[in-house]
Amino acid sequence: MRYFYKRPETYQLSNSEIYVCDHPVYNFCTLYKRDEKGLTVIQQRYDPITKHTWWGAVDPWLSEDIYSNEHLKKEKWETVFDRKDI
């Protein structure tokens, strides 16, 4: 899922939804729910013209692959927003 993921011609939407929140770093994320628990996932975006980066919801064609993969390994260079003050 990291680096570059080519958009497929067809894709299936998973059990995820776009969630609007008031997080200090991002305003939209992808929310996955299982029973009473949830996990939010964000994707970093980059605009090469303005050289601006931002965080937002995951592309819809990535949602199913993320949802169906239970143990995605986190690389040490990846950013984690996990119960920390920002």
pLDDT in tens, 14-43: 778 999 988 888 999 999 888 888 888 888
Q: How confident is the model at residue 1 (pLDDT cuts 50, 70, 90)?
A: very low
Q: What is the DSSP string of 31-53?
A: EEEETTEEEEE-EEEEETTTTEE
pLDDT in tens, 62-76: 877 777 777 767 666
For tokens 């980059």, the residue is: 46
The residue type at 61 = W
d(CA 47, CA 57): 16
Q: Count other Cβ atoms within 10 Å, centred on residue 57.
A: 23
* 45 has a pLDDT exceeding 60: yes
Query: For residues 72 and 63, is the Cβ–Cβ distance under 8 A?
Result: no
Name 64's bridge partners: none
Q: How confident is the model at residue 4 (pLDDT cuts 50, 70, 90)?
A: low
